[in-house]
A and B are shown apart, each in its own frame.
Chain A
Amino acid sequence: QQQVKQSPQSLIVQKGGIPIINCAYENTAFDYFPWYQQFPGKGPALLIAIRPDVSEKKEGRFTISFNKSAKQFSLHIMDSQPGDSATYFCAASKGGYQKVTFGTGTKLQVIP
C-alpha cells in the first residue's frame, strides 16, 4: 500500500526557476514529514522537515508548505541552481520517528 504519493516523477527547470514537488499522505497518524535529497551514487540525506502544527517552514532556499486538512505537503526550491539537481524524496513517520515511509522520488534537473 502506497501511503505517501509523490509527484511529479521527474522535473526539468531552468536555473533560477522554482521547482515544486508535491506529496500526499493517507495516514492521519503521521506527525513528522522530512524531505531527503539524494545525489547520484550517494545515500539520501535529510534536507528539511516539518511537523503538522505549522503550515510552512523555510531553510535557506528550501521551503515546505503543509496543508493538514488536505493531507498534502510540498517542497519549493527558490532560485534553483544546477547543484540542486538530485532526486528528492518526501517521507512521513509517526510516533517515535523510527519507521519512515518514503515517497517514490522526484528526479530534478536544473539546466544552466
Chain B
Amino acid sequence: DAGVIQSPRHEVTEMGQEVTLRCKPISGHNSLFWYRQTMMRGLELLIYFNNNVPIDDSGMPEDRFSAKMPNASFSTLKIQPSEPRDSAVYFCASSSTGVEGTQYFGPGTRLLVL
C-alpha cells in the first residue's frame, strides 16, 4: 500500500495567489482529515470528511479556506487568496472506522506564502 499521498510536497507562492493542495487517501478508508501544523499553534484539525461528506469544518480558519472530496479517492484543500500567515505544513490523514480509527498521515505539504 502506498499510504496517503499528498501533492505537492512543497509550494511557494505569493500573497493573493490561489493554492490547491491535493490528497489521495488509503484505499478503503472512509474518513479523511485535513490538518495544519505550525510552531505556534501545533497540529490543528481543519476539516474532516466521512464517506465523502464534510462532517466538521469548525477548524477552517476563514472563508478563504475551502475543502472538497468529490470521490472516495481524492480531496482538495484550497486557499484563495493566500496570505503569509497561511504558511505551514498541511497534512492529510485517512482512517477506517471499525479499526479504532487509527489515522494514517501523509507526508505533508510545506506551504510558504511570500
CB within 8 Å of B: which residues of A?
Answer: 32, 34, 41-46, 49, 89, 93, 96-105
Contacts and interface: CB of A to CB of B under 8 A. Distances in A.
Contacts of A42: 107-108
Given A89-B43, A98-B31, 18 more contacts: A34-B102, A42-B107, A42-B108, A43-B93, A43-B108, A46-B104, A49-B100, A93-B101, A96-B101, A97-B97, A97-B101, A98-B48, A98-B55, A99-B45, A99-B48, A100-B45, A100-B103, A104-B42
Interface residues of B, number: 22
Interface of B: 4, 31, 42-43, 45, 48, 50, 55-56, 91, 93, 95, 97, 100-108
Contact of A43 (B42, B56, B101, B107): B107
Contacts of B31: 98
Nearest to B103: A100
Nearest to B9: A41
5 contacts: A32-B101, A97-B100, A98-B50, A102-B45, A104-B42
A49 B99 CA distance: 12
Contacts of B107: 41-43
